Amino acid sequence: MRVGSGRLYVAVAAGGFRRYATYRAATAAGVFTNTVFGLILVYTYLALWEENPQLGGYDQAQAVTFVWLGQALLAALAIGGGGFEDELMERIRTGDIAVDLYRPADLQLWWLAADLGRAVFQLLGRGVVPFAFGSLFFPVALPGEVSRWAAFLVAVVLAAAVSFALRYLVALSAFWLMDGMGVTQMAWLAGFFCSGMLLPLNVFPGALGEVVRMLPWSSLLQAPADVLLGEADALGTFVFQAAWAVALLAVGRLTQSAATRRVVVQGG
Partner 1 sequence: MAETARVARERGRVAEGVRTYGLIATMWIRSTMAYRTSFALTTFGNFAATALDFVAILLMFSRVDALGGWSLGEVAFLYGVAGVSFGLADLAVGSMERLGRRVRDGTLDTLLVRPAPVLAQVAADRFALRRLGRVTQGVLVLVYALVLLDIDWTAAKLLLMPVMLLSGAGIFCAVFVAAAAFQFVAQDAAEVSNAFTYGGTTMLQYPPTVFALDLVRGVTFVVPLAFVNWLPAGYVLDRPFPLDLPEWVAFTSPLVAVACCALAGLAWRAGLLSYRSTGS
The site string for partner 1 over 168-187 (x = CB under 8 A, - otherwise) reads -----------x-xx--xx-
Q: Which of 160, 144, 139, 142 is nearest to 221 (CA)?
A: 160
Binding marks (x or -) toward partner 1, 118..147, rule CB under 8 A?
Answer: ------------------------------
Binding region for partner 1 (CB under 8 A) out of 48-56, 92-100, 215-223, 227-235: 48-56
Q: Does 46 interact with partner 1 (rule: CB under 8 A)?
A: yes
Q: Is 32 in the site for partner 1 (CB under 8 A)?
A: yes
In the complex, least distance from residue 106 CB atom to partner 1, rounded to whole angstroms = 33
Q: In the bound complex, what is the minimum distance in angstroms from residue 41's beta carbon to partner 1? A: 8
Instruction: Give CA–CA dist 235/50, Å, rounded.
Output: 32
- Looking at residues 62 to 101 of the shown chain, list those that interact with partner 1 (rule: CB under 8 A): none
- Nearer to partner 1 (CB atom), residue 44 or residue 257: 44
Interaction site with partner 1 (CB under 8 A): 23-26, 28-30, 32-33, 36-37, 39-40, 43-44, 46-48, 51-52, 55-56, 179, 181-182, 185-186, 188-189, 192-193, 198-199, 203-205
